[in-house]
Structure 1
Amino acid sequence: MNYVDLDPALQPLIESYLESADRELLAPVLTALGADAPQRLAPLADVADKNPPTLEQFNREGDRVDTIDYHHSYQELQKAAYEEYGLSALSHRGLHGWDDVPPHLVKYILSYVFVQAEFGLACPVSMTDAAARTLWKFGEGEQIAEAIDRLISVDPERRFTGAMFMTEIHAGTDIAQTSTVAERDGENWALSGRKWFASNPDADIILTLARFPGGDDTTRGVGLFMLPKHRPDGTKNSYVIDRLKDKLGTRSMPSGEVTLNNAYAVQVGALERGFRQMAEMVNTSRLSNAMRATALMRRSINEALAHARQRVVFGKTLIEAPLMRMTLLPLQAEAEAALGLVFYCGDMLQRADAGDASATAQIRVLTPLAKHYICKRARFVTGEAMEVRGGRGYIEEFPDARLVRDSHLGSIWEGSSNVIALDVLRCMRKQNTHRLLAKTMKEKLNTIALAEAVPEIRELLTRWSAIVDRGDAIVSAESEAAEALIGGYADDLAQLIMATLLLEQADAEATRDGNFRKLLVAKTFIGSNITGDESAVVEILSHFEDIVDGASLTSESVSAGTVSTPTPVA
């Protein structure tokens, strides 16, 4: 079993988004990880979930040590993520044959496959990556330079992991309520306060927020600081881990409460811009949240398909039942639409980093849009897939329950759905990003070669015009009305983007490969999520197994509603 081979959407998207030289370098490591994930990493993840980390606060001499003990299964997963595949380093240095830094998409692709096996570890991996990016953009000085160098290292003797401590009892969403304070301590700072929810609390490098002397009572009065696990002289920094959290999901990875007691810290960037700088780390993690949610969808659908193919009910396998196909096909389309959006976001991030102004504006709003929609849908998709397995799916001996538990995380961490929706509204007010997205997506629809054969394109163009008008009305509305409406608007906007990207990819696959499979996926997503046309989805059910298996479908076979001698896509 290979997770890459089980995913009919992945390789065609790689073909569309990556240059040939990058594809050649990616292929061997992706193939290796695709096999490693189900055969080695997923069993390790199952064990790690059942054996969560424990906190040893004192050693036998009575000294405060705050050591977190990890089960060996989690330690093996750490080695795979940080060292073998370098997931936290891929956006910062050449690995796997790349002399220079590979495109951001390489990281997202490999992480997407890894997360199908293990979700919890992906949080500290993402924070390590994001901490290095944030320090590189805003930090300066020898200590920060060394921290970056070690955060992006794959050397087991040298590598660091990262974390961000933001949440306090009264300052989760409202960062202006941060009560942690920073006082000058020579050239650096001493931080005191309590962080209520800190994941990867024994990280080597932590980015955290604190109020600084003379700052006002808004977010401009909160500075960003680097909190190392050890002081420059090698002694343990003065903060303690009070306890670890008993969480619904991500049980393999520790989250805890931390108290800072005049902890040594280094200032990062301008004090009054601390929150804005921390937003760089948060936004990077938000996009990773969307990617991880997409991976959970894919794994859960794989599990559902495998069960439905072998479970016999009333003399037939479940996969043959029309209602089961009608249940699974929209889930497949949902997962492929989410993956398409993740690819597009990764590409926009690459272009933004290269100085593309349009891409910069797009990724600013695409990040919260992707997190808002995909993370919520992952809860639904994993739940539906668990139900396919019935009572077995509810039993913790199977992976479905863990996938459902973990799926609830994405909508909460790095901002709950309502917070994320308000961020979308902020982007619209500042840059009219709904108009920019509509312009970009309409251009894509208007250049699709299949336009005459796809009436859905005309429907989407009409809906794009309508959603721009809705967006304009929300932007000009009174604040309370705008905030009340933005959640539903963000979902509708995300769905239109995903439908457009599906049709663009369908056009690319039909033109490049003569394969019309993706067009049926796009029609399924549009019928299920946008037009509500179930009859259109029913007509596609005859191609169900060809769609989920990644068969190559000709235009004639699609038009005729039958498939003869389908050829699997390599």
Structure 2
Amino acid sequence: MNYVDLDPALNPLIKSYLEPADRKRLAPVLTVLGADAAQRLAPLADVADKNPPTLAQFDREGDRVDEIDYHASYQELQRAAYEEYGLSALSHRGMHGWDDVPPHLVKYILSYVFVQAEFGLACPVSMTDAAARTLRKFGEGEEIAEAIDRLISADPDQRFTGAMFMTEIQAGTDIAQTETVAESDGENWKLSGRKWFASNPDADIILTLARYPGGDDSTRGVGLFMLPKHRPDGSKNSYVIDRLKDKLGTRSMPSGEVTLDGAYAVQVGELDRGFRQMAEMVNTSRLSNAMRSTALMRRSLNEALAHARKRVVFGKTLIEAPLMRMTLLPLQAEAEAALGLVFYAGDMLQRGDAGDAEAAAQIRVLTPLAKHYICKRARFVTGETMEVRGGRGYIEEWPDARLVRDSHLGSIWEGSSNVIALDVLRCMRKQDTHRLLAQTMSGKLDSLTLAEAGPEVRELLDRWSAIVARGDGLLSAEKPVAEALIGNYADELAQLIMGTLLLEQAEAEATRDEDYRKLLAAKAFIAANIVRDDTTVARLLPHFEDIVDGTRVSRDSVAASTPTPVA
């Protein structure tokens, strides 16, 4: 079994977004990882979930050590993620045949396959990557330079892991309420306070926020600091892990409460821009959250399809039942749409980093849109697919329950859904990003020439016009009204983007490969999620196996079974 082979959407998207040379370098490592994730890493993840880490606060002499003990299964997963595949280093250095840094999408593609096996470890992997990016962008000095070098290392004797400590009891969303304080200590700082929720709490390099002397009561009064696990002289830094959290999901990876007691820290960037600088790390993690949620959708769908093909009820396999197909087809379309948005966002991040101002404005709003929509939908998709397996799915001996538990993380960490929706509204107010997206996506639709997609193209163009008008209305409405309505608006905006990208990819595959399978998936997503037309979805069921298996679909076959135009 190979997770790459089970995914009909992945390789065609790689063809569309990556240059031939990049595809050639990616292909062998992707093939290896696809098989490795399914055959070695997924069973390890099952074991790690059942054997969570434990905290030893003291050694046998009574000295404070705060050491976290990891099960051997998790340690093997760590070696795979950080060393064999270099998932936290891929945005910063050449690996796997690249002399220079590969495109951002390479990291997202490999991480997407890895996360289908193990979700919990992906959090510290993402934070390690994001910490290096943030320090590279804002940090200065030899100590920070050494930290970056070790954060992006795949050498087992050199590599560091990263974390971010933001949440306090009174300061989760409201960072201005941060109570941790920074005291000047020569060229560096001493930090004191308590961080209530800190994932990967024994990380080597931590980015954290603290109030600095003379700062005001807003977020501008909070500075960004690098907190190393050890002081420059090698001694343990002055903070302790009070306890580990008992979490719903991501049980393989530790999260804890940490108390800082005059802990040694190095200033990162400008003090009064600490929160804005930390937002760089948060936003990178938010996009990774969307990618990880997409991976959960894909894995859960693989599990459901495998079960439905094997389980016999009343003399027939479940997969033969029309209602089961009607359940699974929209989930398949949902997973493909999510993956398409992750690819597009990763591409916009690459272009934005290269200086494309329009791409930078797009990724600024695409990140919260993807997190808001995809992470919530992952909860639905994993729940539906668990039900396909029935009572077995509810039993922890199967992976479905773990997938459901883990799926709830994406909507909460790095900002709950309401916080993220308000971030979308903030982007709209600052840059009219709803108009930018509508202009970009309508341009894509206008350029499509695939006749078989005509009804959907016209439908989406009309809806883009309507959603721009609604967005303008939100911006002119009183603040409480706009804030009350932005959640549903953000979801509809995300769905229109996903539908548009599906149609664009459908034309690419039809033109390049003479394959119309993606067009059927696009029709299913638009009918199920945008138009809400179950009849159209039902008329696509004769092509169910083609869509979920990635079988090539001819133009004549589509023309013979194309549903009546959407209303």
Q: Fold match, TM over 0.5? A: yes
After TM superposition, the structure 1 = structure 2 runs for residues 74-85 of structure 1, keeping only pairs within 5 Å, are 74-85=74-85
Specify the alignment match of 1:413 in structure 2. 413
C-alpha distance after superposition, 1:417-438 (max 9, x if no partner): 0000000000000000000000
Specify the alignment match of 1:23 in structure 2. 23
C-alpha distance after superposition, 1:243-264 (max 9, x if no partner): 0000000000000000000000
Matched residue SS, 1:243: strand
Specify the alignment match of 1:146 in structure 2. 146
CA distance in 2 between partners of 1:201 and 1:185 (Å): 24
Matched residue SS, 1:249: coil
CA contact (8 A) 1:165 1:208 kept: yes
Same amino acid, percent of matched pairs: 85
Matched residue SS, 1:454: helix
CA distance in 1 between partners of 2:38 and 2:557 (Å): 34
Matched residue SS, 1:471: helix
CA contact (8 A) 1:178 1:222 kept: yes
C-alpha distance after superposition, 1:88-138 (max 9, x if no partner): 000000000000000000000000000000000000000000000000000
CA contact (8 A) 1:393 1:401 kept: yes
Specify the alignment match of 1:113 in structure 2. 113
Specify the alignment match of 1:567 in structure 2. none
Instruction: Report the residue type matching 1:413 in the other structure.
Output: W
CA distance in 2 between partners of 1:530 and 1:72 (Å): 46
Instruction: Report the residue type matching 2:131 in the other structure.
Output: A
C-alpha distance after superposition, 1:508-532 (max 9, x if no partner): 0000000000000000000000001
Specify the alignment match of 2:526 in structure 1. 526
Provide TM-score, normalisation by structure 2.
0.99
Q: Report the Cα offset of residue 148 of structure 1.
A: 0.2
After TM superposition, the structure 1 = structure 2 runs for residues 325-344 of structure 1, keeping only pairs within 5 Å, are 325-344=325-344
Instruction: Report the residue type matching 1:149 in the other structure.
Output: D
Mapped pair 1:479 → 2:442: no
In the alignment of these two chains, the number of paired residues is 562
Matched residue SS, 2:257: strand
Specify the alignment match of 1:495 in structure 2. 495
C-alpha distance after superposition, 1:266-295 (max 9, x if no partner): 000000000000000000000000000000
Q: Report the Cα offset of residue 451 of structure 1.
A: 4.3
Matched residue SS, 1:216: coil
Instruction: Report the residue type matching 1:314 in the other structure.
Output: F
C-alpha distance after superposition, 1:41-98 (max 9, x if no partner): 0000000000000000000000000000000000000000000000000000000000
Specify the alignment match of 1:197 in structure 2. 197
Mapped pair 1:375 → 2:365: no
CA distance in 2 between partners of 1:53 and 1:338 (Å): 32
Mapped pair 1:385 → 2:369: no
Matched residue SS, 2:413: coil
Residues 452 and 548 of structure 1: CA distance in aligned 2, closer, same or farther (over 3 Å): closer
Gaps of 5+ in 1: 563-570
Specify the alignment match of 1:568 in structure 2. none
CA distance in 1 between partners of 2:560 and 2:191 (Å): 69
RMSD of Structure 2 on Structure 1 (CA): 0.7
CA distance in 2 between partners of 1:392 and 1:540 (Å): 29
Instruction: Report the residue type matching 1:442 in the other structure.
Output: S
Instruction: Report the residue type matching 1:338 in the other structure.
Output: A
Specify the alignment match of 2:404 in structure 1. 404
CA contact (8 A) 2:82 2:125 kept: yes
Specify the alignment match of 1:63 in structure 2. 63
CA distance in 2 between partners of 1:453 and 1:296 (Å): 29
Matched residue SS, 1:153: coil
CA contact (8 A) 1:209 1:224 kept: yes
CA contact (8 A) 2:453 2:519 kept: no
CA distance in 1 between partners of 2:497 and 2:510 (Å): 20
Mapped pair 1:540 → 2:540: yes
Q: Report the Cα offset of residue 142 of structure 1.
A: 0.2
Instruction: Report the residue type matching 1:497 in the other structure.
Output: I
CA distance in 2 between partners of 1:465 and 1:447 (Å): 16
Matched residue SS, 1:307: helix
Specify the alignment match of 1:361 in structure 2. 361
Matched residue SS, 1:40: helix
Matched residue SS, 2:531: coil
Specify the alignment match of 2:101 in structure 1. 101
Matched residue SS, 2:414: coil
CA contact (8 A) 2:445 2:500 kept: yes
Specify the alignment match of 1:168 in structure 2. 168
Specify the alignment match of 2:565 in structure 1. none
CA distance in 1 between partners of 2:444 and 2:418 (Å): 30
C-alpha distance after superposition, 1:468-525 (max 9, x if no partner): 0000111111110010000000000000000000000000000000000000000000
Specify the alignment match of 1:445 in structure 2. 445
Matched residue SS, 1:259: strand
Provide TM-score, normalisation by structure 1.
0.98
Specify the alignment match of 2:292 in structure 1. 292
Matched residue SS, 1:276: helix
Q: Report the Cα offset of residue 452 of structure 1.
A: 6.2
CA distance in 2 between partners of 1:15 and 1:449 (Å): 20
CA distance in 2 between partners of 1:134 and 1:547 (Å): 41
Instruction: Report the residue type matching 1:370 in the other structure.
Output: A
CA contact (8 A) 1:451 1:457 kept: no
Specify the alignment match of 2:217 in structure 1. 217
Matched residue SS, 2:182: strand
Matched residue SS, 1:4: coil
Gaps of 5+ in 2: 563-567
Q: Report the Cα offset of residue 449 of structure 1.
A: 1.5
CA contact (8 A) 2:521 2:547 kept: yes
Q: Report the Cα offset of residue 454 of structure 1.
A: 2.3
After TM superposition, the structure 1 = structure 2 runs for residues 34-49 of structure 1, keeping only pairs within 5 Å, are 34-49=34-49
CA distance in 2 between partners of 1:416 and 1:207 (Å): 20
Specify the alignment match of 2:431 in structure 1. 431
CA distance in 1 between partners of 2:54 and 2:151 (Å): 24
CA distance in 1 between partners of 2:498 and 2:476 (Å): 26
Instruction: Report the residue type matching 1:395 in the other structure.
Output: I
Specify the alignment match of 1:468 in structure 2. 468
Instruction: Report the residue type matching 1:316 in the other structure.
Output: K
Q: Report the Cα offset of residue 558 of structure 1.
A: 1.4
CA contact (8 A) 1:506 1:518 kept: yes
Q: Report the Cα offset of residue 559 of structure 1.
A: 1.7
CA distance in 1 between partners of 2:451 and 2:419 (Å): 38
CA contact (8 A) 2:452 2:559 kept: no
CA contact (8 A) 1:201 1:241 kept: yes
CA distance in 2 between partners of 1:431 and 1:451 (Å): 34
CA distance in 1 between partners of 2:233 and 2:532 (Å): 64
Mapped pair 1:177 → 2:177: yes
Instruction: Report the residue type matching 2:38 in the other structure.
Output: P
Specify the alignment match of 1:565 in structure 2. none
Instruction: Report the residue type matching 2:145 in the other structure.
Output: A
CA distance in 1 between partners of 2:313 and 2:61 (Å): 62
Instruction: Report the residue type matching 2:24 in the other structure.
Output: E
Q: Report the Cα offset of residue 561 of structure 1.
A: 2.9
Instruction: Report the residue type matching 1:457 in the other structure.
Output: V
Mean CA deviation greater in 553-562 or 45-54: 553-562
Specify the alignment match of 2:4 in structure 1. 4
Matched residue SS, 1:279: helix
Instruction: Report the residue type matching 1:399 in the other structure.
Output: P
CA distance in 2 between partners of 1:453 and 1:508 (Å): 12
Mapped pair 1:234 → 2:234: yes
CA distance in 2 between partners of 1:451 and 1:156 (Å): 54
